[in-house]
């Protein structure tokens, strides 16, 4: 069993517990009652690089990354630094996140929020909307094409912007077949946790010119952002480098606006 398989198995167990507490019909009602989602795409398409800044306590590859007693304070710093969106990890077992973190961040900032998790059912999409998310992550490696398509369509129907994550050429093809407009190329292989800095450069040319391209994993500072922008990145998603920085607002500011629009 790969690392990704193990994570998804744990996600399904935790999901069953939440569904037992709040049934699907009630979660759907809460989602429908939530305020309209914010649209991050204009900022993502603006000239120069945009930053999705991540609230991330730990990871399966690095263990504990940062003590974040108040995710709202960190989110405000990201917003002050000009983050185009804020990603909040909500997976509990491997990343130490929660929906409570998402709620806290939503109450603190007006920036569009990405629920970063391993989404495998539409219940999680309704959870995301009910908790205040504007974007949701769908990981191609974790889903067969029929499920990926169904979740993508349901997320769009809910008004969510969908970040479709790929790791290799076959997954990039599946994202293109899906009609994804926001594609994240993750340099970290979720099956082995190894990072290949060349991944984005190989996969970006396989994506349509009108697709917003997001570079994920291994972004440590402006030099990495400069290289990725030259390879076609419109957006960078950064977690570890920001939560470990003593001045996250300045760190976001330094990565924003690099490069020129395509």
* Residues identified as active-site: 54, 56, 116, 165, 186, 216-217
Q: How far is CA 22 from CA 17, 51, 89, 183, in A?
A: 9, 34, 21, 31
Can you tell me the distance from the alpha carbon of 1 to that of 42, in angstroms, rounded to the nearest whole number?
40
For 130, half-sphere exposure in the C-beta direction (CA atoms, 13 angstrom radius) is 17
| CA torsion, ordered 238, 164, 209, 194, to nearest 10 deg | 50
Q: How far is CA 152 from CA 4, 45, 165, in A?
A: 20, 21, 12
Closest by Cα among 66, 64, 43, 41 to 55:
66
Element (H, E) at 44: helix 41-45
């Amino acid at each position: 069993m790969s690392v990704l398989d193990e994570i998804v198995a744990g996600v399904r167990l935790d999901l069953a517990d939440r569904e037992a507490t709040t049934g699907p019909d009630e979660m759907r009602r809460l989602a429908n009652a939530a305020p309209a989602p914010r649209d991050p795409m204009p900022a993502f398409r603006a000239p120069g690089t945009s930053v999705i800044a991540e609230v991330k306590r730990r990871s399966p590859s690095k263990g504990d990354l940062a003590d974040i007693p108040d995710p709202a304070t960190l989110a405000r710093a990201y917003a002050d630094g000009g983050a185009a969106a804020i990603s909040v990890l909500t997976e509990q077992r491997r990343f130490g996140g929660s929906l409570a973190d998402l709620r806290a961040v939503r109450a603190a900032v007006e920036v569009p929020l990405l629920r970063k998790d391993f989404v495998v059912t539409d219940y999680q999409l309704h959870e995301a909307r009910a908790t205040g998310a504007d974007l949701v992550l769908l990981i191609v490696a974790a889903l067969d094409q029929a499920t990926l398509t169904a979740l993508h369509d349901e997320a769009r129907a809910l008004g969510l912007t969908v970040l479709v994550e790929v790791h290799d050429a076959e997954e990039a093809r599946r994202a293109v077949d899906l009609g994804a407009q926001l594609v994240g190329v993750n340099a970290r292989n979720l099956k082995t946790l190894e990072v290949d800095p060349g991944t984005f450069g190989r996969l970006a040319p396989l994506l349509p010119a009108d697709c917003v391209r997001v570079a994920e994993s291994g972004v440590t500072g402006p030099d990495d952002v400069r290289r990725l922008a030259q390879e076609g990145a419109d957006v960078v998603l950064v977690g570890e480098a920001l939560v470990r920085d003593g001045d996250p607002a300045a760190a976001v500011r330094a990565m924003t606006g690099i490069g020129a629009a395509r």
